[in-house]
Amino acid sequence: MALRTIITLPDPRLRLVCDPVATVDDTIRALMDDMLETMYDAPGIGLAAIQIAVAKRVVVIDASREEDARQPMRLVNPQVVWASEETSVYEEGCLSIPEYFAEVERPSRCKVSYLDETGKPCEMDCEGLLATVVQHEIDHINGVLFIDHLSKLKRDRVVKKFAKAAKRESVA
């Protein structure tokens, strides 16, 4: 396992639609292990492969509480196959948009199909925080960021702030 660098806004790779994984093999399992180590180190509760500059449809999640045992989830080629009309609002953040948080409204429940770490097809019913996290991470592999769910004014303000910070870093 290895810690990977998390790319941040305004990196254009965050807008890529990721490629499906053809076969869940040792390379993909190693990628997921690295992603979990990177996510826990950050710390975060979800990470998409594109956030470490790998344009594959791979997501890791652990929405367990700090005081509970870790419950890592590895999802390959995940997709939402059903979402409730009922919504909920959570304050979201993102490891690729550090130290910025905003309330986002999403379906409160969803069903997700995916391949597990052995390549076996699975389905999972999600609700509450898990539903929010899984939708947030699936957005990532589709080139969508949580700020895209905000008003244009708020989104533009965030993008401008991060672009300005990146420009300062490149000059330094």
CA–CA distance, 47 with 39 (Å, rounded to integer) = 6
Annotation marks residue 99 as catalytic: no
SS (H, E, C) the chain: CCCCCCCCCCCHHHHCCCECCCCCCHHHHHHHHHHHHHHHHCCCCEEEHHHHCCCECEEEECCCCCCCCCCCEEEEEEEEEEECCCEEEEEEEECCEEEEEEEEEEECEEEEEEECCCCCEEEEEEEHHHHHHHHHHHHHHCCCCHHHHCCHHHHHHHHHHHHHHHHHHHHC
Tokens of 45: 């509760």
**Which residue is catalytic, options 86, 105, 123, 137?**
137
Catalytic residues: 137
